[in-house]
Structures are given as structure tokens and as C-alpha cells.
Structure 1
């Protein structure tokens, strides 16, 4: 099978590519080629991987990436929440205009590809029940959420018209991300764990009782692989899924940090208040009814200790004791 991943050089994109190379979509559905479309080359080294170093808002770059006639397209590339709020025009251009450009290129393909669009719980906002049902109307309270909500409608419409076999996956907030902080308003969700474990100070800018919908990187990638290979008939008319996660508060995350990393690590986190972050993150839901995706085989982490252990095992020195 031939795959295209926009944002393939990024954190999730490169992990998704590595997982697809290792496992494919099951017996008889092995991956033969993957094209990464990103501003830099994909870091995954494999003869089956090629990179188009370009931009998703450049028609020539997109056409080059899709030139082999992909079976599955994962559209992960986006301007993140913090930058979208600060740079309104840039956010809409990349998250809306470029998404439509890619969908238009899909119309030219001989066979409609499975098109997996990664959206966000940021499409919700306003007054919400404690557990958001699958039928909840979107009401984004950020530019990022607005762009993603428009993208969802575009994917569903292009799927209705038969131009793509579309599926939107609303991802939980991913934690713990290795590396450096990014421009996402939710960057602190990883930062209050990653930095203290690395001996660095960090800040929690939201109230400790803020309910967050979380997925580990490994679980998010496993669910995205499933999304690429799932039978379209199982999806029905509703081509949008709230992917499973777990509800956790910053207070509970810091409790995990202290249990697994020690009191000294916990002490490196300062409790602050950033109204800009609060206005965005605290408008997001803290829990979803995910009965439908669970019935399809999508899965969630069991607890946050397990999520943090995953990060600690991944980043432990090679000579550390088991």
C-alpha cells in the first residue's frame, strides 16, 4: 500500500511512519511506500520512505507528494493552537486553505484514497456537559478550533461526494511529548512532566483542577494506524470520531510525577496563571462518550501513571537499570 503523510517529519508524523513500516495495516496490507510532505525531510531511514521538502499550501508540492496515487493519506500538518491564535491569517491559510488544496488534488486521483484528517477537541467550546456525547455540536472558542472545525466539514463533504474515503479523528491532547515546548496552548501538558524529569523548572499555567482529555503517543499512533485501515462501511454517514482518551487533571499529573519521579521533580513545577492559555485550554472538554470508537477497536490508555512510565522508559539512558 502507498501512503502519504503530511507533517511526516514531525513528532506524530515520524512515529506514525515508523509504525506503518513495521506493521502495515495487517496481513496482506503491507506498506510498500510512504511519502512525507513537510518542510524538512522525514527522519525515518527506510528505503520505502521518500520526502517532499515543501509546504502543504504549495500546489506543486502537494501534487508531487500525491503523484504515486496513494491508497491512504494522513493529513497531520497544521499550525498549532498558540500560533493560530496569535497569527490569525496564517492559521486559517494553513489549516483551512491548504486542507482544501490537498482535498482538491485528491479529486484528480484515479482512485479516491482513504483520507485521515487529524482534528482536535478544540472544535468544542461554550457550555458543555461533563461528558461530551458524540452528537455534541461544535462551538470552537479559538482560531485553531475554528480552522479544525472547517476542515472536518470539508473532509466530510468531499467524502459525501466520493472524492475521498474520508475520516476525521479528533485527537486527545498528547502527553508526554519529548523534545522542546511547541506553540500549542497545551504544550504545558507535557512540559510540567518532561522538564522536571530533565532537571529543569516548569510552570503550570491553568488551575490544578482543569480536566484534560489525554492520550499517550503510543496509543494515539495505534489509533491512527487503525483509522487508516478500518473498513469504511463500518463508519456509516458519520465520518468524525472522538478518539478515546483518559480524563486527568494537572493535580493528578503532578501526583504521578511525584510518585514516579520523586518529590524533587514535583518541586520544580511552579503554579502560575496565564489567562491566554486558560481561555483556550479551559474551553476544551474534559471527557467524551467514546462507545462507538471503542466498539470499532480504538483504545485508550488505562491510567496516567502508565502514560508517564511510557515516556520515562523511552527517554531513559541506554545503560540505566531496568
Structure 2
């Protein structure tokens, strides 16, 4: 029995794999499995005898069919062209984010075993006029290519679940902050950069107004929620399998206040305001607060405070702080 993780070599994917292995070692796996298959453009950084890497194109149906088999009990679909990259290359985003998702679902359907299928979506599916706090049943109205293609993926997963082809779970992730490493092509990459770089003594710029409200989750909490989603009984989710995962609602100004409290005035002074209309057009269309009563009742977690989120990054990644 295996679990397939697309994007398994990435930041979230590798952490999901590590937590799945940790839970298995503890005798509390969210679902019984013997092996994890990381499916990505490069090999997984997780060195473990229970992990196999398959390197290839997510939109290659023949390769996907060799990866997702009747032995596959679950699929984590994390791979995607991110928001900024999707806006820049419509055709690539269509091939990966739409065609790739459908090919994975078709391969899962072909097994005939109804594997659990976990699709990571985004708050980018929302746009247009929105209430201050988004209810669970608000219709999607994306204002970006990334958001539109994620919304298509959500409908596909729900339809394949309704038909009984897969046991789907659509998980709308908050923006993840603070991510270590280099900036990526996400329009929201600054939500990590304005914290990560200053904590490491490097200047950073903020491309959106400081009153922009963000819906954020620490990496650790996001990964715990992704693994928890695997063990939630599909019957508890009902027919509509889409969940807005818990986050913290803070303005960019409040994020910078947390940076100053955790990293000091010197770190805060390294952040300057440099408006970027391209980033604002995408990020400022996203909601900044959600009603998450149902996911919390289902056992999903949220961070306690954004100060703790910033401190989590500092303690793990900043030397000699």
C-alpha cells in the first residue's frame, strides 16, 4: 500500500512525507501504508527506505498511470505552477494545474479502489465583493489564472468524489508564512520575504499596502493539517468536500509589528514599502479572514499568534539569534 505525493520534493511536500513517516514510526499513521512515492521534477530530499522518488512530468498520463496503481491508498496533489508563474505563462499553468490534475484523477479512477485524493487549493479562488469574514459557502470568483485553475481543480475533485471514483478532500491552504529558502513565483512570496530576509539581516521590500489583510498559517500547522485531512472520515465531510483550512487573520502592518517584537527594531528597519501593482492586483483580491468553525470542529488546528509563527521560523532557521 502506497501514498503518492505530487510535489514531494518541494517545501510542503517533503514535510508532509516526513510527518507521515514520523506518524508511521509512532504507530499512529493517518492511514495504513507501506511506502510513499514522491512524484516531482526532481528527487525527494527525504532519505528513507520507505520513500521512492519518481521524476517526471505531472501532465504525462502514461507516467502517472505507472505511479498511481491499485496499491495506492491515497494521493496528495501538491504540485502546481504558482500564482505569479501562472499569470506569466497561461499555457503552462493550464497543462500542469488543470490537465495534470485531471490526469491524476483519471489514474485514480482507473484503479477502481477509490483512493483518498487530497487536493491543495488556495484562497485565490475567491475575488470580487466579499464580506469581511468569508463564510464556508461563499461562491468562488477568481481574479487570477492561478485562482481560476484551482477552482476548476476543486470542481473536478468534488465531481470525482460524487461519482464514487475517489474519496476526495479539497484543502484551501492559507498563505504559508514563514517559508525558508529563496523567494518563489507566488505573488504572495513577500509574505515570507518581509520576515525571512530581515531576520537574516537582509533588506526586503513590501509590495502591498500595510493595511492589506492576509490569511496566514505557519508551515508546521499547515503540514499537520494536511496530514490530519488524510485521517478524517469522508462521511464527516459530506457531499461537498471543500474546506477552508484554519489560519490567522493579520494585516501586513501587524506582520511587521510581529517582526519587530521577535527580531528587534533593526530587523524591522530593513523592510521598505515598494508598491508593485502586479502583486497588488493578485493578492489584494484575496480574502483575509474566514469562518473556520467546521474545520476546527473536525480537528484541524490553527496557530495561536503571529508572533509565535515568526518565532517558529527564527528558532529553526536563524543561526545564533
Deviations 1:9-61 (A, max 9, x none): 00000000000000148369454200000000000010000000001101122
Gaps of 5+ in 2: none
2:70/2:111 contact within 8 Å kept: no
Counterpart position of 2:106: 104
Q: In 2, distance between residues paired with 1:245 and 1:77?
A: 21
Of residues 186, 200, 211, the one that matches 2:202 is 200
Match of 1:255 in 2: 257
Answer whether contact 1:197 1:261 (CA < 8 A) is retained.
Answer: yes
Contact 1:209/1:249 (CA < 8 Å) preserved in 2?
Answer: yes
List aligned pairs for 1:40-189, cutoff 5 A.
40-67=42-69, 69-189=71-191
Query: Does the 8 Å CA contact 2:178/2:196 hold for their aligned counterparts?
Result: yes
Match of 1:15 in 2: 15
Deviation at 1:272, TM superposition (A): 1.1
Change (3 A) 1:53 1:191: same
CA contact (8 A) 1:52 1:61 kept: no
CA offsets per residue over residues 156-193 of structure 1, 9 Å max, x none? 00001111001100000000000000000000000000
Q: Cα offset for 1:311?
A: 0.5
Distance 1:28 1:72 in 2: 11
- Tell me, in whole angstroms, the C-alpha distance in 2 between the residues paired with 1:312 and 1:207: 25
Query: 1:80-131 deviations in whole A, cap 9, x for unaligned?
Result: 0001011111111111111001101111113110000000000000000000
Moved over 2 A (4+): 24-31
Which sections of structure 1, spanning at least 5 residues, go unmatched? none
Is residue 246 from structure 1 mapped to residue 248 from structure 2 by the alignment? yes
Asked whether the equivalents of residues 199 and 318 of structure 2 are also in contact (C-alpha less than 8 Å), the reply is no
Provide the TM-score with structure 2 as the length reference. 0.97
- Change in 2 beyond 3 A, CA 1:28/1:77: closer
**What TM-score comes out, normalization by structure 1 length?**
0.96
Contact 2:8 2:44 in 1 (8 A): yes
Structure 1 residues 292 and 198, CA gap change in structure 2 (3 angstroms): same
Distance 1:69 1:63 in 2: 12
Q: Where in structure 2 are the equivalents of 1:171-320 lying within 5 Å? A: 171-317=173-319, 320=320
CA distance, structure 1, for counterparts of residue 268 and residue 29 of structure 2: 45
> Per-residue displacement from partner, 1:180-222 (whole Å, max 9, x unpaired)?
0000000000000001111111110000010000000000000
- For residues 310 and 30 of structure 1, the distance between their equivalents in structure 2, rounded to whole angstroms, comes to 30
Q: How many residues align?
A: 319
How well do the aligned residues superpose, as a CA RMSD in angstroms?
A: 1.3
Report the secondary structure of 2:208's partner residue. coil
